[in-house]
Amino acid sequence: MTKRSHSITIRDVAKQAGVSVATVSRYINHKASLSDEIINRIRPVMQELNYVPLVAARNLASRRTGIIGLLSFTVDYSFFGPLITGLEKALKENGYNLLVATYQSDQNEEIAPPIGPFNAEGVVVFSNTLNDERLAEWYGIHFPVVLVHRTAPNSLPIPSVNVENRTTSFKIVEHLIEVHDRKQIVFVRAPGYQEDARSRELAYKAALKAHSIVFDPNLIIGGNYDRNSARQAMEEFLGNNPPAFDAVFAGDDDLAVSVISALRNAGLNVPEDVAVVGFDDQRYARLLIPPLTTVRAPTEEIGREAGQQLIKV
């Protein structure tokens, strides 16, 4: 990880901004309200000088926190265990500790993320946890960030680590068509703002087209990564006189488990009546009866690679 310059101090910021050190300190620590005029003098100077007031940088004995953060809108899915394991291994090998926090950007709120330049040396950001504006702000002050399961906004060369969604999703849908002769395939998707979800849906449609199967929008079920929501979506689908279908491609294994539960509750046999496939190859996938056919995503390796990338930033 690139070492920040020790030559720039709070006194340099105060001098160039034409304010006192105490005023800059109040701005950094949000100890008192300041006028817009003062704020607009301090902020650009801090950006120009690349001055990032890390908590540990204010400690005379050390100018590093030894902390790397992981920010995610949730950690309530099986997916995160391997991701965190891989990330933590990479960081510990390089002398860093991992701090995990949940957060969801909302452009209508001014609540800052719980992990950032004020308490960490860098952050791994999962999917859409931070909006583009926050990413641009952190990039502007040279705060190290690596994205996982999303690409960077067009104007920001922020490193990212992801899986190959398009090819693998295409192949598993093709497997249903060619090997199991399934032609009426439901796709259960996560929210559209998830980059993975969009990629997997595009691959699903491409596989249908490649095999001359007409896409039916009525076979798309809008869900999210919450198991209960996915199960409810499938139950509602089954209860509304749906088109005939003989297979389901679930956007991840957690969704697939919920789908299987709803199908069985409706009296349908898996895989005899309806074949179900997932994505991620969670540890429990092989323990299901029958085992879940799924795409193996190297989630732990993604975490490790994200950690290694962040250390290089």
Q: Are 103 and 138 in the same domain?
A: yes
How do the pLDDT tens digits run along the chain, 313 residues long?
544 444 677 778 889 999 987 788 778 766 567 888 988 999 899 888 887 665 444 433 344 789 999 999 888 888 899 999 999 999 999 999 999 999 987 654 557 789 998 889 999 999 989 988 888 888 888 899 999 999 998 878 999 999 999 999 999 999 999 999 999 999 998 776 688 989 999 999 999 999 999 999 999 998 666 667 888 999 999 999 999 999 999 999 989 999 999 999 999 999 999 999 999 999 999 999 999 999 999 999 999 999 999 998 7
Question: The domain spanning residue 35 has which CATH number?
Answer: 1.10.260
Question: The domain spanning residue 126 has which CATH number?
Answer: 3.40.50.2300
pTM of the model: 0.76
Which residues fall within 8 angstroms of residue 168, CB to CB, at 6 or more apart?
A: 203, 279, 295, 297
Provide the domain limits for residue 105: 59-162+302-312
Q: Are 42 and 65 in the same domain?
A: no
User: Which regions of 151-242 does DSSP assign to beta strands (E)?
Assistant: 160-161, 185-189, 220-222
Helix 165-178 / helix 195-210 crossing angle, nearest 10 deg? 40
Domain count, the chain: 3
Q: Are 202 and 259 in the same domain?
A: yes
